[in-house]
Amino acid sequence: MLLISCPWCGAREETEFAYGGDATLKRPDPARADDAQWYGYVYLRANPKGPHDELWYHAAGCRRWLRVTRDTASHAILDTAPVDTSRGKPDSP
């Protein structure tokens, strides 16, 4: 079970959160992007064994998005940070 430090609420159990996937993805500009860029954004992942930047949503808490750096080989949480959601949900397919 993960214990995730929410920047607003403090350390909370994993069950309060919903996973949002890879946080390094950048949504292409719909006016300019070609098929290859969309393919990369929607489907391709670095999928690292080690530190992974990922999005979590504090669904049963403050209902804000956070960016978590977590080691996928050990499950150790290395860092958590707020995500700027002033323009809506962060980029994630």
Interface residue list for another protein (CB under 8 A)? 1-2, 14-15, 19, 21-22, 35-36, 39-40, 42-49, 52, 54, 70, 72-75, 93
What DSSP state is assigned to residue 82? Answer: E
Cβ proximity to another protein: between 8 and 19 the closer is 19
Beta-carbon neighbour count of residue 52 at 10 Å?
20
In whole angstroms, the minimum distance from the beta carbon of 23 to another protein comes to 11
CA distance 51 to 25: 15
Question: Pairing mode, if any, of strands 51-57 and 77-82?
Answer: unpaired
Cβ proximity to another protein: between 72 and 85 the closer is 72
In whole angstroms, the minimum distance from the beta carbon of 90 to another protein comes to 15
